[in-house]
């Protein structure tokens, strides 16, 4: 099946990046969110990011203009139902995702493929609540989407081969690299990454090192481009906690227990860059550690 039209649900950090790369690759994109302000902000951010790519010589002005022309705000969720491909990129909450798919169900075209950008939730379970588990997959992009080359493709137990091949072809057209992951909690990247971040938070919690020393140690000692606490702030501490809870609940192993300090930061509303405070305070010109 040739994908031409794409509906993206969720105009946040992931959704706007997904819309960006699809439009730049020639797909017509309808961008939806429950907030019209969020959609407007997302389109403005996409425009700025495309301008930055033009300025760096990555794309031409013509490519930029054509990509912007392919993105349409769409506040009516039902109108996305006729898209060839729908990518759900809402918050990492299973109930929210199930409600979105339930709302879409009466409006879907017979051929529409449903996907979720979930970073940890069971694809088999999400698919089972829809009318098309054979045409449902996990389609997990990395953040920031325009920069990161990997896309995890996760088949549920009922996903058919045609759906998998169609999405693998889409990843190729986007100029990205696909990695197949089995449908186990957090898949590949976050199964490895999040426990490392959680352990870094435990290292801070237990007083082994400060925010600065932990991040410096991993950047210089393990050649990581960002320290684990800096990365947690970039991802969002609420997202980190949600993934650790999925790992802990799904695998029933105490090694995945979320650090109590991570829980406290989320309870405080200090979620990282998106709230201007997390393990660093971003309200000044230079980020300052909060511990």
Q: Which of 151, 182, 213 is the last residue of a domain?
A: 182
Are 17 and 140 members of one domain? yes
Are 91 and 156 members of one domain? yes
Is 180 one of the catalytic residues? no
Q: Could you tell me the pTM of the whole model?
A: 0.90
Query: Residue 92, annotated ligand binder?
Result: yes
Query: Residue 165, annotated ligand binder?
Result: no
Q: Which of 182, 214, 237 is the last residue of a domain?
A: 182
Q: How far apart are CA 114 and CA 64, in angstroms?
A: 28
- Which residue out of 16, 49, 190, 198 is catalytically annotated? 190
Query: Residue 81, annotated ligand binder?
Result: no
Cα dihedral across residues 231, 140, 91, 42: positive or negative: positive
Q: Could you please report the per-residue DSSP string of the chain?
A: ----EEEEE--SHHHHHHHHHHHHTT-EEEEE-S-HHHHHHHHHHHHHHHHHHHHTTSS-HHHHHHHHHTEEE---GGGGGGSSEEEE---S-HHHHHHHHHHHGGG--TTPEEEE--SSS-HHHHHHTSS-GGGEEEEEE-SSTTT--EEEEEE-TT--HHHHHHHHHHHHHTT-EEEEE-SSTTTTHHHHHHHHHHHHHHHHHTTSS-HHHHHHHHHHHS--SS-HHHHHHHH-HHHHHHHHHHHHHHH--GGGPPPHHHHHHHHHT--BGGGTBSSEE-SSSS-EE--
What is the tens place of the pLDDT at every residue in 111-122? 999 999 999 899
Domain containing 238 equals 191-289
pLDDT at 248: 96
Is 190 one of the catalytic residues? yes
Q: Which of 160, 182, 204 is the last residue of a domain?
A: 182
Question: Residue 42 sits in a domain of what CATH number?
Answer: 3.40.50.720
Query: Residue 219, annotated ligand binder?
Result: no
Q: Predicted confidence band at 1 (pLDDT cuts at 50, 70, 90)? A: confident
Total of domains in the chain: 2
Is 152 one of the catalytic residues? yes
Is 111 one of the catalytic residues? no
State the residue for tokens 């990492």. Answer: 92
Are 56 and 115 members of one domain? yes
- Which residue out of 119, 120, 122, 198 is catalytically annotated? 119
Share of the chain above pLDDT 90, in %: 97
Are 11 and 120 members of one domain? yes
Q: How far apart are CA 242 and CA 249, in angstroms?
A: 10
What is the tens place of the pLDDT at every residue in 193-222? 999 999 999 999 999 999 999 999 999 999
- Which residue out of 49, 117, 152, 230 is catalytically annotated? 152
pLDDT at 42: 97
């Amino acid at each position: 099946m040739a994908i031409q039209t794409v509906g993206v649900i969720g105009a946040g950090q992931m959704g706007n990046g997904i819309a960006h790369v699809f439009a730049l690759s020639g797909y017509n994109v309808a961008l939806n969110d429950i907030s019209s302000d969020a959609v407007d902000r997302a389109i403005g951010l996409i425009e700025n990011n495309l301008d930055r790519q033009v300025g760096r010589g990555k794309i031409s002005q013509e490519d930029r203009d054509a990509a912007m022309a392919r993105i349409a705000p769409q506040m009516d969720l039902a109108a996305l139902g006729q898209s060839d491909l729908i990518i759900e990129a809402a918050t990492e909450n299973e109930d929210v995702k199930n409600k979105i798919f339930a709302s879409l169900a009466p409006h879907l075209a017979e051929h529409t493929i449903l996907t979720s950008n979930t970073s940890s939730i069971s694809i088999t379970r999400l698919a089972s609540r829809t009318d098309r588990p054979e045409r449902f997959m996990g389609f997990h992009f990395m953040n920031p989407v325009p920069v990161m080359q990997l896309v995890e493709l996760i088949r549920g137990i009922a996903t058919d081969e045609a759906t998998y091949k169609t999405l693998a072809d889409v990843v190729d057209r986007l100029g990205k690299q696909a990695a197949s992951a089995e449908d186990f909690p957090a898949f590949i990247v976050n199964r490895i990454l999040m426990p490392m971040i959680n352990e870094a938070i435990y290292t801070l919690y237990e007083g082994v090192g400060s925010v600065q020393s932990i991040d410096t140690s991993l950047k210089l000692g393990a050649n990581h481009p960002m320290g684990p606490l800096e990365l947690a702030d970039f991802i969002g501490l609420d997202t980190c906690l949600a993934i650790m809870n999925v790992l802990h609940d799904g695998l029933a192993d105490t090694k995945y227990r979320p650090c109590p300090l991570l829980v406290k930061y989320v309870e405080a509303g200090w979620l990282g860059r998106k709230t201007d405070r997390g393990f660093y305070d971003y309200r000044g010109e230079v980020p300052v550690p909060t511990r």
